Amino acid sequence: MCGIVGFISQNSNLNDPAKTLESMCEALHHRGPNDRGQWMDRTAGVYFGHTRLSIIDLSPMGHQPMLSPTGRYVISYNGEIYNFAALREELDNSSGRTESFDGWKGHSDTEVILACIEQWGLAQALERFIGMFAFALWDRKERTLHLARDRMGIKPLYYGWQNDTFFFGSELKPLRHHPVFSGEIDRTALQLYMLYAYIPPPHSIYQNIFKLPPGNLISIPAPFSHQLPEPTPYWTVEQVAHDGLANPFSGNDQEAIDQLDHLLRDSVRLRMIADVPFGAFLSGGIDSSTVTALMQAESVSPVKTFSIGFAEKDYNEAEYAKAVARHLNTDHTELYVTPKQARDVIPKMPTLYDEPFSDSSQIPTFLVSELTQRHVKVSLSGDGGDEVFGGYNRYMMSPNLWRRMNLFPPPLRRAGSKLCTALSPASWDALFHLLDPILPASLRHSNIGDKIHKLAEVLPARSRRDLFFRMITHWGLGEKLVQGQSGFSSITPGLPAIAPLENYSQDMMLMDLTGYLPGDILTKVDRASMGVSLETRVPLLDHRVVEFAWRLPLSMKIRNGKSKWLLRQVLSRYIPDALIERPKMGFSIPLHQWLRGPLRDWAEDLLDEKRMRDEGYLNPEPIQKKWREHLSGKFSWPHHLWAVLMFQSWLRQQD
């Protein structure tokens, strides 16, 4: 795992490009503290930089940027190709090897990537790679720059033109170290951020700087034009979904369990290949427990596992993780974090995430990464299980909700929405508390007021996609939040334009796999882990697993009111059901309480009405209204406010 950065510039006024490149690399030191390198073609104006976190082949033979055997290609690469050993063996046994090939210099996967590209060409090589990656490849013969990103979007890659210079990099930080980088905020991206709590690709917070979408390749030939070509997909979840639904799995339950078990074991086994110590994040949930169980099944010694706990019972998963670790006999480490320790990392978030990002689980994710990095250099994670195997509650709830909503005409639903908000959440809670003795158990919910207000938000939905959008967003389309911006015309603005699937649950999974997963979940884990120089690997997102999952009937994912049915069956081979059958918990913090208490002064300063107006990005009126309501305790708006606070905090660090 590493950091990549570079630029193309014909600017003769750039006094010392090597010094500029060194400064850009320094900004990525956390992604690669073990080694640093540069490569330049001053005639072509091409400059590559690299920072290395040594995981495979710790010797100097893994140094980057690296040249291919013939010298035709130069690569700066971030990631891991897990099947590199098999590809290397295939190359050794193939005929027609290039004449200049005189043997392997080391045993890094980078060297194998270059050999594959020389042997089969870039397009065919990409199809053969199993892994996570983002790389820049300069073809010295064709004088073309290629940028590629892995299928699921596990590794990040930014790119774009600014002021006669083309930039690319793993993060935005190094780009700001180039003297011509302007960094003008993209207000459309800011609007999308306020909706989703992340900025969906291809947007970034800066004008003319983009995220390369997952599974895409972009090629920029010389002479360099400022007109960027469209990225070309070499693999898409959308196509995988259609292919899987057209060619469904025909086996029975037992055959499906066996096949998934086999696929997952191979995926985990490949991700345990490392020349440094490795372990696993363990929350005690289905996904992380599955990954850990399969790791332990593949290991002759106890796997190192890590979890963090909180004193607040509603936010603590550590006891569940400890029970799973005890059953599997892992070498388990846990850390109970005080509220102060958690709050103390908040100032690091804007720098860590580079652009506004407000999934509040970023805080515990950073803390568990920090804990893990003290003991190992690689950690496996259970991310992706919800999106691939149907784990989110909305996949079960939304189809029923949509059917019931359609029993009533839209005007009546809009009236019902207004009725739901006639009382504050606190008032609804008090009312239902009084009625508890006469209510059936199914209606005795905690935070019933918040649920009624959430219902009010979704009742006016005009379509299934509109309902999905309302369930996954925070600030609504009707909020005049960003100064000088009008609303969006799309029902799901900023998300990929994908034709709806016939089945609503499957359609939501597809939308999450193309939007929420790469934009939020994978971004969160990458920045949190790489911020402390820890490599994270996600075996549930092996593309072979994803392709198999899309061939499964929905009944093998959601059955008898339970999510992730097939994954649970695999896990039950290794862990008793009693250890994992519990209500789903998010990896979260008591944000609503902190904003009314220890974070109040910090928030008050960032939400200053005059400063927001003078900065010229956000309209303070709707924000101040939410803030006053939240402080009153009658309403709870932690996620709305956190999005604003993370932007304001990020903005101040740009000064």
Following DSSP, what letter does each residue of 303-316 receive, concatenated?
A: PEEEEEEESSGGG-
| Alpha carbon distance 327, 574 (integer Å) | 9
CB atoms within 10 A of CB 338: 10
Residue 310 pLDDT class (50, 70, 90 cuts): confident
| Alpha carbon distance 368, 529 (integer Å) | 9
Residue 126: its pLDDT value, please?
A: 98
249-390+510-579: CATH architecture:
3-Layer(aba) Sandwich (3.40)
Residue 453: its pLDDT value, please?
A: 82
Structure tokens, 453: 């207000």
Beta strand 158-162 with 165-169 is antiparallel
pLDDT at 71 exceeding the cut of 80: yes
The whole-chain average pLDDT of the chain stands at 92
The stretch 191-204 carries a mean pLDDT of: 96
Residue 95: its pLDDT value, please?
A: 67
Whether 323 contacts 579, CB under 8 Å: yes
Structure tokens, 172: 């935005």
pLDDT digits (tens, 9 = 90+) for 331-375: 999 999 888 888 999 999 999 999 999 999 999 999 999 999 999
DSSP state of 347: G
pLDDT at 269 exceeding the cut of 70: yes
Residue 154: its pLDDT value, please?
A: 98
Residue 433 pLDDT class (50, 70, 90 cuts): confident
Residue 96: its pLDDT value, please?
A: 63
Q: Give the ranges where 459-574 is alpha helix by DSSP (H).
A: 464-472, 504-514, 516, 522-530, 543-551, 565-571
pLDDT digits (tens, 9 = 90+) for 374-403: 999 999 999 999 999 999 999 999 999 999
Measure Cα distances from 275 to 17, 53, 54 in Å. 34, 12, 8
Residue 445 pLDDT class (50, 70, 90 cuts): low
More confident residue, 400 or 580: 400
CB atoms within 10 A of CB 200: 23
DSSP string, 423-474: S-HHHHHHHHHHHGGGS-GGG--TTHHHHHHHHHHHTT--SHHHHHHHHH-S
Residue 377: its pLDDT value, please?
A: 97
Alpha-carbon dihedral 136, 229, 511, 390, rounded to 10 degrees: -30
Residue 585: its pLDDT value, please?
A: 60
- Which sequence spans correspond to the domains of the chain? 2-235, 249-390+510-579, 591-653
Closest CA to 215 of 139, 142, 126, 279: 126
| Alpha carbon distance 319, 309 (integer Å) | 8
pLDDT at 533 exceeding the cut of 60: yes
pLDDT at 311 exceeding the cut of 80: no
Residue 587 pLDDT class (50, 70, 90 cuts): low
Residue 168: its pLDDT value, please?
A: 98
Q: How wide is the angle at C-alpha 383 spanned by C-alphas 281 and 551, nearest 5°? A: 140
pLDDT at 580 exceeding the cut of 90: no
Q: How wide is the angle at C-alpha 320 spanned by C-alphas 363 and 581, nearest 5°? A: 115
Residue 97: its pLDDT value, please?
A: 63
Closest CA to 5 of 38, 33, 34: 38
Region for residue 560 given its phi and psi (left: phi exceeds 0; alpha: psi -120 to 50; beta: otherwise):
left
Active site residues: 2
Contacts of 273 (CB under 8 A, 6+ apart): 56, 82, 85
Identical fold, 2-235 and 249-390+510-579: no
Q: What ranges make up the beta strands (E) of 256-371?
A: 278-281, 304-310, 331-337
Assign domain 2-235 to a CATH class: alpha beta
Q: Give the ranges where 57-201 is alpha helix by DSSP (H).
A: 84-93, 109-120, 122-128, 187-196
pLDDT at 163 exceeding the cut of 90: no
